[in-house]
Structure 1
């Protein structure tokens, strides 16, 4: 015998013979007396691995104590509301998987599992962790993600063997400073919590390599003077407004820096200190320009800028990919000083009777009609009057208090390709947008939208639309009818489903962001959307595919879905 027993047939109860497998002589032994010594498996070893996953178990018997040799117990994906106290008697247990059940509490006796190395508790209903938890001194891997924890006990600091800790998708408002005592910790995941700050002591975790702080309420980052091994820092979807030199100067080993969906207005020149940087995600911030020296980072392979009001880089360059963009930045390094001089010495604003300030230089030179961050409830006529006979390709009216689209945008319908109306109070899209038939990029994130007009199907050149942080409860039908769409950003809404068959017909769709919605399931047919290069689904309440599959990237997710489509 190999000390292994597995079942996955949707049983509601564990047969008593399983618990007594080490004690009772099997029936076949009584029927056949010719077994040789090598064949008498029941006399050779006790059961060491018990797999009861994917059943409908509601309870486990205290008789589990009859299997003291167990090193692996796997009961994931059942309906367990509790664990028997007897589980604490399994002194040899090294791996315990109780994920995807209905546990609300853990027995205090779990602290007796001194040889435990891996403990998986994700996707339960836990609201607290026993104080004695810190006695699991050999624990190397702990996953408590997708529970209801509001705090982490300070006793966690005793888990000094821990290498991977997953606290994602809970309700944590803070982390204990004692967490810094986990000197062997390499991976810490605190995604989707309520953290407003992280303890400065976190910076002293010298073994830390991967740190996930996405989808929290962070306004700033700590410095990382001792985290010399830090390879990935994920702080997307927070409220960070400033990244300074002090945040970057110690990140010499960083390969991946995720800053997407924050409130950054600029990137410091010190970004060039990150000589090992390979991926930089600045999607959906308020960045209008980049330091040209960014082009000299030797290992940078991926630079995401979608959803920023870039004024110094042409839109067509942004769509050509990272290498073309870096090449452009390198070409501008020598002109940087001259560019700055021109900006400061040329009259760039005209004061109008209404005291509005219109950036005439942007109109004439950059072809941008810019009136953002004014908190205006309407765009003054003087702004449109200043256009004159100049050609306008971009409109930026973001960060105002607009509750309607300015009617005079129709005057620019012959030339406008890019419109930014983000961070306003739009509750509907009027038909003025629908006549901009050369429109390729539309940014209307952070508004109050619940629907889109059918007339938007006339936008037959639209490539990118950003509808994140609105109030949609259904995926707009009109989007399925725009065949030119390449990027649809739809995170942080309340959408419960998408039509995978209609998405498949959008043959140019390469990026679909559905993070933080209310998807209860992912349609398997989505796997047939072969044009997708980026599919983001994190932060939804569905159970399948699981986080481990999502973490492998879009190709793995699509393959997973495709393989499960019934013939």
Structure 2
């Protein structure tokens, strides 16, 4: 392959971590016999925000100076694709900086072509993508992000060996059915586009493991999502989803990470708590009012973020329940909680209930705060109207609470105040009656000494343990 005139004097160092291909080996042999082994990455000169013309290396020093002073010409896209590239599986072009004469070089993907390559009749970013697709059909990883594409070039469907496709940060609104030919696709990133619905063609990618759809305008997701049996990572943050009722997540048994934050969900995703490999759940910044207790019973769960919702009460955890491993983090900040639930510190290492309406922490919890529990747990409870126990004001201020051990402070306050209320042995009360007769309100008054609003979706009859 010919070499850019601006790179004749100094050959840039090879890109790290890329295997050499026949294309760049040809460049090395023509440029300098003692040059180091180069990578398979394509190289583009970027002097004065233009791609330098490709010229022959065999020239005298005078010719070199003349070429360097000559105005740059628009590149011929056919020069980027040469014979012998059929074995290249990864296409990561390298753009030289404006001071490339000093050997400065940085690697980039094929993204941002419009901003770095002049759009002319001879060469545009779309043409370069098409040339790559038609000439390197064994490509496995392709990144066309940041190109202001309004339509995904159909030539990409020719890449039947493709496993990773990144078309984020464009202006896409749909994907043609022709892309179902990408049957080996494992990772797809369509984030930061303009999709209003999840493209139907995505449901045909049965080998898909990662799907990133964040920062779009998606309002609905079809039930066909459950066809992605191998999916492990699903990201739908920053969209306009109001419900996912049409999807039974229990059928997606491989799912481990699900993020649907910053949407408008009212109900908890159906069947999500029945997954046995679930590790990370982020449903923050929605309008959820409750979640099933079974979610806390998933032994693989490691991170749960339900912050910035409308949750006023937590489900009751079975007394006999024990976890095989601790949940690393539970974030319930910025909700409507009025009491602290003791079991949170027994199942999680880090608990954040800040910015709620919590007034009291039970004596039972304080008595369980031994040195081991205090040193191994982290609690954030600032910005709550906490009255019992009476704690220093700085513990309720965020800036100060981050620097103190809240649990140790709570235990110390209880000890100083010598709080030792007589607690009678608990007894069980079973409330039986017709629907909407006030059973839940009565139980809530007995337990929390205050009335609550009844959610019609919550089971009317509940068994509660009331301490005198």
TM-score, structure 2 normalization:
0.61
Distance 1:189 1:214, change over 3 A: same
1:197 pairs with 2:273: no
Distance, in Å, in 2 between the alignment partners of 1:75 and 1:183 is 31
> Tell me, which stretches of 5 or more residues in structure 2 are unaligned?
1-20, 22-38, 52-73, 93-108, 116-123, 424-449, 451-468
Give how far 1:341 is off: 5.3
Pairing partner for 2:110 from 52, 62, 65: 52
Q: Does the CA contact (< 8 Å) of 1:163 and 1:187 recur in 2?
A: yes
Tell me the equivalent position of 1:17.
78
- Counterparts of 1:519-534 in structure 2, within 5 Å, are none
Q: Does the CA contact (< 8 Å) of 1:234 and 1:257 recur in 2?
A: yes
- Counterparts of 1:293-372 in structure 2, within 5 Å, are 293=365, 295-296=369-370, 297=373, 300-312=376-388, 313-318=391-396, 319=400, 321=402, 324-331=405-412, 338-340=419-421
Give how far 1:300 is off: 4.3
- Counterparts of 1:331-480 in structure 2, within 5 Å, are 331=412, 338-340=419-421
Distance 1:301 1:134, change over 3 A: same
Distance 1:86 1:308, change over 3 A: same
1:141 pairs with 2:200: no
Distance 1:8 1:81, change over 3 A: farther
TM-score, structure 1 normalization:
0.51
Q: Determine helix, strand or coil for the equivalent of 1:256.
A: strand
Distance 1:315 1:336, change over 3 A: closer
Q: Determine helix, strand or coil for the equivalent of 1:326.
A: helix
Q: Determine helix, strand or coil for the equivalent of 2:410.
A: helix
Larger gyration radius, structure 1 or structure 2: 2
Distance 1:320 1:253, change over 3 A: closer
Give how far 1:80 is off: 0.8
Tell me the equivalent position of 2:279.
209
Distance, in Å, in 1 between the alignment partners of 2:228 and 2:76 is 36
Tell me the equivalent position of 2:301.
230
Distance, in Å, in 2 between the alignment partners of 1:304 and 1:6 is 51
Give how far 1:328 is off: 3.1
Distance 1:157 1:193, change over 3 A: same
Distance, in Å, in 2 between the alignment partners of 1:11 and 1:301 is 57
Q: CA RMSD in A?
A: 3.3
Q: Does the CA contact (< 8 Å) of 1:137 and 1:158 recur in 2?
A: yes
Q: Does the CA contact (< 8 Å) of 1:8 and 1:54 recur in 2?
A: no
Q: Does the CA contact (< 8 Å) of 2:225 and 2:247 recur in 1?
A: no
Pairing partner for 1:170 from 239, 243, 246: 239
C-alpha distance after superposition, 1:189-215 (max 9, x if no partner): 111001001234111111110000010
1:80 pairs with 2:149: yes
Q: Does the CA contact (< 8 Å) of 1:22 and 1:46 recur in 2?
A: no
Distance 1:317 1:215, change over 3 A: closer
Larger relative contact order, structure 1 or 2 (CA cutoff 8 Å, min sep 6) = 2
1:95 pairs with 2:164: yes
C-alpha distance after superposition, 1:223-282 (max 9, x if no partner): 2356210001000001111113239957763110101111111122322431xx222111
1:291 pairs with 2:362: yes
1:65 pairs with 2:107: no
Distance, in Å, in 2 between the alignment partners of 1:246 and 1:15 is 67
Alignment length (residue pairs): 323
C-alpha distance after superposition, 1:265-307 (max 9, x if no partner): 1122322431xx2221112111112235263436644322222
Q: Determine helix, strand or coil for the equivalent of 2:142.
A: strand
Distance, in Å, in 2 between the alignment partners of 1:192 and 1:6 is 40
Distance 1:188 1:231, change over 3 A: same
Distance, in Å, in 1 between the alignment partners of 2:412 and 2:327 is 25
Q: Which moved more, 1:141-150 or 1:103-112?
A: 103-112
Give how far 1:137 is off: 1.6
Q: Determine helix, strand or coil for the equivalent of 1:49.
A: coil
C-alpha distance after superposition, 1:411-444 (max 9, x if no partner): xxxxxxxxxxxxxxxxxxxxxxxxxxxxxxxxxx
Q: Determine helix, strand or coil for the equivalent of 1:109.
A: helix
Q: Does the CA contact (< 8 Å) of 2:194 and 2:217 recur in 1?
A: yes
Give how far 1:161 is off: 1.5
1:244 pairs with 2:325: no
